[in-house]
Amino acid sequence: MKKQENRWFPTKVTLTDLDCDHIPPVRVPFRGGTGDTEKPRAQFLWGTNTRGQVNASLTPSTTPVIFSGIQPTGVPHLGNYLGALRQWVKLQNAAKPNTKLLFSIVDLHALTVPQEASQLRKWRVEAFATLLAVGLDPKRSTIFYQSAVPAHAELMWILSTVASMGYLSRMTQWKSKLQLPEETTLDNSEARAQLRLGLFSYPVLQAADILVHRATHVPVGEDQRQHLEFSRYTASSFNHLYGPIFPTPEALISPAKRVMSLKEPTAKMSKSHADERSRILLTDSPHEIQKKVKVALTDSEPGVTYDPTRRPGVSNLIEILSHLEESSCEQIATEFHSASLRALKEHVAERIAHHLHGVRERYFEIMANHSYLDSVTQEGATTAQANADVTMRRVRDTIGL
């Protein structure tokens, strides 16, 4: 079965320097009887909704909440790691003690395409183990399966009552999944015939994922701003009707560039590519990494230069090295200017294998320790459910349920 592209927010992180002392404050709309104003979240505690009833802001003014998720498509690849997972770990390690961090395996999103049950179960566990292997600490971060917290689905239904069909129809994800042009609308009979409600409405579930935990900040890639904007819009729409229940989440944009396919360097590295050599999995052995990088598509031009437009394959290898060594692409290109492409590939493969060695070892240790995995899974679900229940009690009370 074809694997689904690993996109919830394929989750990338700016906190350029990951300075959690300077996470920007979230602003919550204050809607009173004399018109709409806006106050910093740090100052906002109470407001009145359109019915004149008092609502408390659910997130204490001193508590930043960071949330992100990843779809279970098995062991993540190098692009997932450099663009998202490594940044999550940096966020965790740099965060102040009062910052809440929640990271989810968003398995309900995986159902927007047909899945074989046994395969999905396997992918869920592999994805969970990988989050632990890369360095997320269950004593510091809440790690959980989305499906283990029913409040996500409940809030999705409630938010769907304020979500705009027009806005959803303009989202690009459902069109790209169905391989339709970006300008496609719901007037297109072919689009309507292919489109399923789950795929069309998945941004509403994304919004619920974020808002049910009162997230103030969400790590996303630059190309995922549209998704977070929908969540912000949905929060504002709900707050306009019922009062300031939800903070309006801010984006944390990743400084990392997208890692491209080794076999098709103008496309993102993806599990959906037919050629397994197009991607490096976090569990690949040094020998497997060396083989894949060796056959990575480059060009016949001598020397090493950084030119993403003219030399995308070579530039992709340079960018991977740039991520791993935390130096500029231009600096690496200068260093390898007189080297052969073979020498560059050998060095890239060596650095990837060295960097992923610890992740790979920890992954297999964790996968072999079933009792540990079960206990962390249960702990995460319990904590996430308790956090979501706080939101849902207020939401139900506010809307009359």
Q: What is the per-residue burial (b if ≥16 Cβ within 10 Å, else e) of 259-281?
A: bbbbbbbeebbbbebeeebbbbb
* DSSP 8-class letter at 81: I
**3-state SS, one letter per residue, for 109-142:** HHHHCCCCHHHHHHHHHHHHHHHHHCCCCCCCCE
Give CB contacts under 8 A, 24+ apart, made by 357-363: 357/286, 359/81, 359/130, 359/133, 359/134, 359/282, 360/133, 360/282, 360/283, 360/284, 360/285, 362/132, 362/133, 363/75, 363/129, 363/130, 363/133, 363/282, 363/283
Nearest to 352 by CA among 272, 291, 401: 291
Catalytic (active-site) positions: 177, 268, 271
Nearest to 40 by CA among 56, 22, 29, 27: 27
SS3 label, residue 4: coil
Q: Are 10 and 221 in contact (CB under 8 A)?
A: yes
SS3 label, residue 253: strand
Q: How far apart are CA 91 and CA 104, in angstroms?
A: 15
SS3 label, residue 382: helix
Beta strands, E only, 211-261: 217-220, 250-253
Q: How far apart are CA 7 and CA 180, in angstroms?
A: 18
Nearest to 16 by CA among 215, 269, 214, 219: 219
68 conformational bin, left if phi > 0, alpha if psi -120 to 50, beta if neither = beta
Structure tokens at 301: 């031009």
Q: How far apart are CA 62 and CA 25, in angstroms?
A: 10
The residue whose two tokens read 């702990």 is 379
